[in-house]
Structure 1
Amino acid sequence: MPSASKPLRIASVNANGIRAAYRKGMGDWLTARDVDVLAIQEVRAETDDVVGLLGPEWSVLHDPATAKGRAGVALASRDKATIHRVELGAVDFDSAGRWLEADFDVNGKIVTVVSTYVNSGEADTPKQVEKYKFLDAMVERLPQLADHSELAVVLGDLNVGHRKLDIKNWRGNVKRAGFLPEERAYFDRFLGAEGEPEYNNGAGLGWIDVGRRWAGEIEGPYTWWSQRGQAFDNDTGWRIDYHLTTPALAARVVGYSVDRAASYDERWSDHAPVVVDYAL
């Protein structure tokens, strides 16, 4: 982990399959970015594959999905975590490959990092029911995390655009999974609703959307673009990759960026990494 004078750099990305991402340039990006903790979603590989790709300088935690080759979340760090957890929700709820918590000792402070991959869902299908089960489990777990550590971040592909600012073509997506009113209401519970006096500043469960706080009231910055058509070139994207933090950790943010590729041909995932510096 960094020295006391250097911010802790935490990055998150949905790799859309880490082996394919490495073939397209993920390794070069990671080498250049000086990341301390990397949260990966949609790993879609075996633990040995992840360790082999990242290299010996990384300590790797990986929670694969029950179905081989699907989902999967990982945390890679320069120093080993002190402890990690994968349980989320009721005993009969299968969250495998979608929720991985770890505690890190950073200059004597415990920082809790959660790599999560929320179900994509599909309106009016059993897939959407599973998505709501996951979001319900988050509603229950987030206050427990805040009690556990005042320096906690839940980051990853949360598969919901909270506000109209988070989706370029929001009018055409109000009946689609990812922008359904019922899904966005969960984020109202996490962060507060748009227009509330304390939205994103202690409302709801008190968590902070670092990306929106840093960017302000602007469209985007988007983190996912469809592979079809000209979505990437036209920046017709969705902001569905987040750093949600406790207020104490949000107060320590000194840098935020979405590492959007320079061109379509240079992409190594349909998502862009979200990189945040925390001064600890």
Structure 2
Amino acid sequence: MKELVIISGKGGTGKTSIVSAFASLAENKILCDADVDAADLHLITAPDIQQRNDFKGGSKAIIDKRFCTECGLCRDLCRWNAINDDFIVDDLECEGCGVCVYFCPEKAIEFPVQTCGEWYISETRFGPMVHARLGIAQENSGKLVTIVRQEAKKLAEKNNLDLIITDGPPGVGCPVIASIGGASAILIVTEPTVSGRHDMERVAQLAAYFKVPAMVCVNKFDLNQKEAQAIEKYSKNMGIAVLGKIPFDNAVTKSMVQGKTVFEYDKDSVSAGAIMTIWKQISEYLNDN
């Protein structure tokens, strides 16, 4: 079984549009949306949820007024200023460190595990899909990413599927690290801007650190060909293959508005042709490695 993770150094590069396009082309696969903080692959795949599961991660302090003597020690120790003058813990300010729980002389502070979100197993017109939603202002997204990937692998093994296509989170933080570990290959989607190139370089260095084979594609390359060339030069110096460059194409935007992949909307568009070329190269790499 192989896993292809599509990531980007920053949001808004067109990563999810490319993932959904790959879903139209790939066979015998399962989709996995590991961008749990801002999941949007479901907007195109329109999943029919078959299984819904709570995600529990992290704890929050709750002061039991029956036992609290209001000695003030918890307020003095809380570096987040999450405990007010009435000795009530602010859920949004509490970081769940547990210091107040450990040092409370009256053992008056409870520390229950929180339900932070949900993860799902769904059916789509492209096949099965595992995805999730993290609650507002909740943490432990890296843990939820790990759960989503593990469940996708279990489902792939159960259904004898050869490939997992994972829509990874942007950036270089904990969720990204959780999404690329053990992957067969990653595709970095970048855009021809100064920030796009800078963030692509950071995520390429991250992939190199974890020894995950990386490839690059430049989306909307024709909007700034100078930056696109700089991205190609950097990738070449890093030993990263540039699989292709996708031109700016209104067909992509129009397909998203209609909740379709670009191949469903207009398979003869210039962007569809470029994505097809990239997918063929990825398929060859996964088959050979």
Larger helix percent: 2
With the length of structure 1 as denominator, give the TM-score of the two structures.
0.33
Larger Rg: 2
With the length of structure 2 as denominator, give the TM-score of the two structures.
0.32
For CA contacts below 8 A with separation 6 or more, give which structure has more relative contact order. 2
